Amino acid sequence: MTMAREKVLEEAKQTLQGGKDKRSVNLVVIGKCFYHRFERHVDAGKSTLMGRLLYELGIMDEKKRVANERASSKIGKSSFSWAWEFDGTTEERDRGITMDVALQTMTTPHRLITILDAPGHRDFIPNMISGASQADCALLVVDAATGEFEAGFERGGQTREHLLLVRSLGVGQVIVAVNKLDQVQWEQARYEDICSLLRPFLLQSGFQPSKTKFVPVGAMSGINLVNREGEGAEVLVTWYSGPTLVDYLDELEPPTRDIMAPLRFPIANVFKGQATGTAVAGRVCSGLVQVGERLRVLPGDETAIVRSIEAETNYLPWAAAGSSVTLYLTAIDPVHLNIGSVLCPPSDVIPLARSFSARIIVFDIQIPITSGASIELFHHSRDVPASITKLSATIDRATGTVVKKNPRVLTKSVSAEVQITLRSPAYSGPATSVQPIPLEPFSVNKEMGRILIRRGGETIAAGTKTHRALHSI
């Protein structure tokens, strides 16, 4: 290794405490996107908002802006030109929707922000979960246009599901950008109506009022992103004099990073560099990793050596908890690297489990959960088929005490302890072929202990792995 571990730890501590560098946060951008039954595209405008914000901050230059504007106009989608900074694939640009998580970085006076622009369309919720699992904070973009906010916020709407998902994945801070207010003539009443509807739901979902901020914005015109100048801004300033969006972003509080814990690096993407060999992208959940270190890949018996570490085209000697980086690896066949696998030290590996006990909170579901129910289990970038094999008890959410043992069903808003067992995909062989997943108790590692449960295209519950293992490997 290029540096002694003690020196790396000392450098990491100084960096995380602020020091001379700006403190870093990972921000997931969420918001609804769907096609109306008459095939009308309905979008909160989050990619447009972030593209315009990067332009206002000088991160996207005028040459790139003009190129995006001309190219989008050629295919009849000029209104999406700002979004092209994030929606970079041909399919995303043709369809006008975000399909995968796009990463960018931006700086404010006190923060280095890694932006994770997550898909808003229902079809790409698994990708959205993968992005949200790497985030510290969230920016929710809602559409203020008449009827559009209500469409996303009504029962089963994407706005509700996105907020529940990010909170369940440990995100505790959220900024709500009320976008497209220019379409309702910057009406103060419309802004306040939306805020009044969202506040109680945010509180119910677990967001503390002190960590919830609201800001009115106009993404297309760039109003109140960095300043309140431009056409239409004169109406806004008659009733709003609070912070801009950038002001709020600059105040985001980085969470405590656990750099003393063993390294846990869930793989979010695997790709082959042009001349740099095999690479894996993801977020360091705990501990730190440095160039030259040998790591174990779980599940499996393989190890790899870290040849280099890259963050936004910069090569680093090490990366600590909270960093979103790309690791270039040697001494391993790429076939052994899979999305959802976890890199860890050979001397302190993460446990594997095929069956485990979890404490869950059931969301606002219509069909109760019964023993034996088939589900999709999500853990970081991995989603696997599973079953809830036992309903152990319902739990009092306030005290944690058992309310009822072995309940027959679980209904909405119930907290419960259940047993979850992985199962084979329908097309595979017998149950013995089920591959275990890397999973740690929440009390040991919060980042590696959270799970989400979906069924029939709907998120029905979220929870944490408890300390009691059933069939760990």
- Give the tens place of pLDDT for each residue, 377-418: 999 999 999 999 999 999 998 788 999 999 999 999 999 999
Which residue ranges in the chain fall short of pLDDT 70? 1-3, 17-21, 33-43, 72, 74-102, 119-124, 155-157, 273-276, 426-432, 468-473
Looking at residue 36, its pLDDT comes to: 45
Looking at residue 452, its pLDDT comes to: 94
Pairwise CA distance, residues 105 & 27, whole Å: 10
CB hemisphere CA count around 181 (13 angstroms): 29
Burial class (CB in 10 A: 0-12, 13-18, 19+), 443: exposed
CATH topology identical between 257-344 and 352-472: yes
Looking at residue 18, its pLDDT comes to: 60
The residues, ordered by sequence, that sit 6+ positions from 118 with a Cβ below 8 Å of its Cβ are 28, 29, 30, 98, 101, 127, 128, 131, 132
Burial letters 250-287, b for 16+ CB under 10 A, else e: bebebbebbbebbbbbbbbebeeeeeeebbbbbbbbbb
Looking at residue 111, its pLDDT comes to: 92
DSSP string, 162-181: HHHHHHHTT--EEEEEEE-G
**Max intra-chain CA distance, the chain:** 67
For the packed helices 125-132 and 158-168, what is the interaxial angle rounded to 10 degrees?
Answer: 40
- Please tell me the pTM assigned to this model: 0.84
- Say which CATH topology domain 21-250 has: Rossmann fold (3.40.50)
Q: Are strands 318-320 and 450-455 parallel, antiparallel or unpaired?
A: unpaired
List % helix, strand, coil for the chain (3-state, nearest 5).
Answer: 25, 35, 40
CATH architecture of 257-344: Beta Barrel (2.40)
Looking at residue 69, its pLDDT comes to: 73
Structure tokens at 467: 């300390």
Using an 8 Å Cβ cutoff, are 222 and 230 in contact? Answer: yes
Looking at residue 367, its pLDDT comes to: 94
Residue with tokens 């993801």: 282
The β-bridge partners of 458 are 455
The β-bridge partners of 264 are 286
Q: What are the domain boundaries of the chain?
A: 21-250, 257-344, 352-472
CATH architecture of 352-472: Beta Barrel (2.40)
Q: Are strands 23-30 and 137-143 parallel, antiparallel or unpaired?
A: parallel
Chain-wide mean pLDDT for the chain?
85
Report CA-CA distances (Å) from 461 to 9, 74, 421, 455, 469: 37, 44, 16, 9, 20
